[in-house]
Structure 1
């Protein structure tokens, strides 16, 4: 019985560390602040590449019943923080960071469904985010005021 308790505790500690590394709310505070000071290419790397390994490990940790219950809390809180957090931001990088937190809740919820569908969702998210980051880097936009005053020729092909 002692081994099972230690095993569950180890899974919880590892799971919480992986969720923090992924930027899941409520341990997300570092993500928007860090992203705001990065270049667009670094934003893309941080929001995509950094999450691959933690997601794979979290997926396999979900076999623990305790992690599954904790994950539900992280899904709900990440969805709420991601949706509401970006509403007061003017920095496009911070808005994308909060969007990433909201998308993280969808990835985690799909993982909880015990399906590899989360990987397809993450690949689609990575493609869309990379495209957006390339466009924002090309147009040199960093705030919402840049978006509202931009010249339409930026996106004419």
Structure 2
């Protein structure tokens, strides 16, 4: 009971730190909110029964401390005399450092070196927080000082690294980490088009990632070979889980295709054809290893256990609404839009 209350308090502080950063009027207030968020997330990561989680907490702390120091130094450069900005070009240096620190905090490429290794040994609940909520404050802050012309290389790094990095992964948490990096590239590009578009994409990403993590957490799945044996008890659950994986990759006609369609449509209207080509190709690579997992699970017969401690009926009832919305949400939205 005491442990649950302490985790709840740290979770409240985590949410408060993010809200302080987003609503602050000064960069020092932003830095303070990010530090509150960092110091609240570290105790949630620590697990006395798992030494690897403590190693992940240490990696996360050192990386975030480095990003916070770079952010603070860039803020100090901003606050210097404006005459120095023009003589020594301090403004462009501080702008570059500020954007790099925010990208490092959320694990975007090419500053992604810590993200898959930290995700590899965390619990699924902490992985979900790291993939979704912990990216909200840096993404929101990046919209305040975003310059596409100077930092367009980050878009392509996120798309390419997120697509190629997940090809040979057997750990599902690492696979979800590279998938998150790829989706970050889509969100960064959507910032360039519209201020509200990346929020829509972020909302869809949170929902689809939560469905997948809920499945993995319910069955305690951490590696790819576990997916092939556990779902032999219930083929419907296997179908729903694997099709949700394809929805996360953006395969039509599932719901995950809708935010990608909105971004591609607006990019083609603004004649960014080369960028659209790179985005579509990176998505096809991610769909390749998702389809490889799906075909292996559906086409190959695996031995199944005679007994299981997991109550599949309860899990099916808990997840049925979210799965139906994920699988058939896109056709439903198109139908409602056509009727209106």
Same-fold call, TM cutoff 0.5: yes
Specify which of 90, 95, 98 is matched with residue 178 of structure 2: 98
Q: Is the CA contact (8 Å cut-off) linking 1:82 and 1:102 kept in structure 2?
A: yes
Q: Equivalent residue of 2:230, what SS?
A: coil
In the TM superposition, residue 70 of structure 1 has moved relative to its aligned partner by: 4.0
Distance 1:143 1:56 in 2: 33
The alpha-carbon distance between structure 1 residues 37 and 70, as it changes in their structure 2 partners (threshold 3 A), is farther
Q: Is the CA contact (8 Å cut-off) linking 1:78 and 1:105 kept in structure 2?
A: yes
Give TM-score scaled by structure 2 length: 0.43
Larger RCO, structures 1/2 (Cα 8 Å, 6+ apart)? 1
Q: Is the CA contact (8 Å cut-off) linking 1:80 and 1:102 kept in structure 2?
A: yes
Matched with 2:216 is 136
Q: Equivalent residue of 1:69, what SS?
A: coil
Specify which of 135, 141, 154 is matched with residue 57 of structure 1: 141
Matched with 1:13 is 97
Q: Equivalent residue of 1:68, what SS?
A: coil
Structure 1 residue ranges, 4+ long, deviating more than 3 angstroms after superposition: none
Matched with 2:190 is 110
Q: Deviations over 1:62-112 (max 9, x none)?
A: 1xxxx4234311110110010110111100000000000000000000011
Q: Deviations over 1:6-62 (max 9, x none)?
A: 222212111001001111111101000000010000000111111001001111111
Matched with 2:132 is 48
Range with bigger deviation, 95-104 or 128-137: 128-137
Q: Equivalent residue of 1:71, what SS?
A: coil
Specify which of 226, 231, 248 is matched with residue 146 of structure 1: 226
Q: Is the CA contact (8 Å cut-off) linking 1:107 and 1:122 kept in structure 2?
A: yes
Distance 1:120 1:96 in 2: 20
Q: Equivalent residue of 1:87, what SS?
A: coil
In the TM superposition, residue 131 of structure 1 has moved relative to its aligned partner by: 1.3
Q: Equivalent residue of 1:86, what SS?
A: coil
In the TM superposition, residue 151 of structure 1 has moved relative to its aligned partner by: 2.6
Q: Is the CA contact (8 Å cut-off) linking 1:44 and 1:129 kept in structure 2?
A: yes
Q: Is the CA contact (8 Å cut-off) linking 1:25 and 1:78 kept in structure 2?
A: yes
- Select the structure of larger CA radius of gyration: 2
Specify which of 62, 82, 85 is matched with residue 165 of structure 2: 85
Distance 1:70 1:152 in 2: 51
Unaligned runs of 5+ in 2: 1-82, 238-311, 317-340
Give TM-score scaled by structure 1 length: 0.91
